Amino acid sequence: MKTPSMRLDGKKALVTGASRGIGLACAYALAESGADVLMVARDEAPLAEAAQAVGQAHPKVTITHESLELTHVDAVNRFFESHPAFDILVNNAGTNRPGHIRDISNQDIDEVIELNVTSVLTACRAFALQPRDQGQEASIINISSQMGLVGARDRAVYCASKHAVEGMTKALAWDLGDEKIRVNTVCPTFIETQMTKKLFEDADFKAKVLSKIALGDIASPSDIMGAVVFLASPAARMITGSSIVIDGGWTAA
């Protein structure tokens, strides 16, 4: 017997929200494993800088970038129609509007659901519609959250969106299984990124988060990289409709 490879040589990957944080880490990981990576995000300048950094680190693969507003359905459809079929899609772009349910505005609800749910479903549909060669397997990896598995104070809208991603992923696994398109989620705990840095400057908040993590440490974007490569690779050939939970034990309590 031979252990299946986790190499991705010759594969074409698309990563959304790729200019920073988890998305950027995913781009690095996929490129290191041999995939050509197209990085997309809303803002061109930081995206171009991120793509240049990934390309310099991994010169043997092709790293490209395009700005894309994922909440514009027609733009997303045109984007996928204009590219050859991708082998790997990492839906990472997302947002959060923490707050008590009484304080959440209509705009907060609309923006979180639009980016975290609708744009993910739209991208999955467009990915599935791309014409593929006979026998061409593919992998969709939706970046969800531990909050897609549990509830938490001041996270009603975010939890709603990530629970939706979990349900969507399970349904898509059945919709696309006959075509050998696997669909899974990665569910991180709080990740120390540029977006969350300010939160962790609050000592009480940081202590509260650490008290919920059995391993007693805050996660970093690099903690996501292995799971994404695994789910994209032939080593995960029989895994679909599943979640890899990277929460340090948060949801085990």
Could you list the active site residues? 158
Radius of gyration of the chain (CA): 18
Distance CA 220, CA 132 (A): 35
Distance CA 81, CA 127 (A): 9
Distance CA 108, CA 99 (A): 10
The one-letter code for the residue type at 66 is: E
What is the bridge-based pairing of β-strands 138-143 and 243-246?
A: unpaired
Largest CA distance in the chain: 57
Q: Which residues contact 223 (CB under 8 A, 6 or more apart)?
A: 188, 191, 246
